[in-house]
Amino acid sequence: MENQPPLPPPLPKQARLGDTTLERMLLPVGRSGWAIAAGYLGLFSLIVLPAPIALIVSIIAIIHIRKSRADAHRKYGMGRAIFGLIMRLLGTGLIVVYLHDHYL
């Protein structure tokens, strides 16, 4: 049996933009588009008009992010989706208070 030359070391895994938590916090890389929409709709739901829409988009975002956990390109943005959901509840609360005070 001859001495074979040692195998070269394996190539390092190529880093992609957004692989680190810091990059994902600073840049909208790998973030679910639904989560971004849910965050903005949740923020605007304090204006009362898009509050019901924010609920639907927030739920879609949460489902989209959870399903992507098994994918190679995982999606992030759960914080934005939860923010949209919470702000939606506040916006809907404002609608209920307004309707209660003016029509009952």
pLDDT digits (tens, 9 = 90+) for 8-51: 777 666 666 666 777 766 776 777 888 888 888 777 766 656 66
Is 8 among the domain residues? Answer: no
Is 15 among the domain residues? Answer: no
Please count the structural domains in the chain: 1
Is 14 among the domain residues? Answer: no
Is 43 among the domain residues? Answer: yes
Report the pLDDT value the prediction gives residue 13, as an integer from 0 to 100.
Answer: 67
Is 6 among the domain residues? Answer: no
pLDDT digits (tens, 9 = 90+) for 46-96: 665 666 777 888 889 999 999 988 887 788 888 888 888 888 888 778 878
Is 20 among the domain residues? Answer: no
Phi and psi angles of residue 31, each rounded to the nearest 5 degrees, phi first: -90, 140
Which domain, by its residues, includes 81?
Answer: 31-103
User: CA separation (Å) from 77 to 27, 64, 70?
Assistant: 11, 10, 16
Block residue for tokens 């509840």: 89
Q: Are 48 and 94 in contact (CB under 8 A)?
A: yes
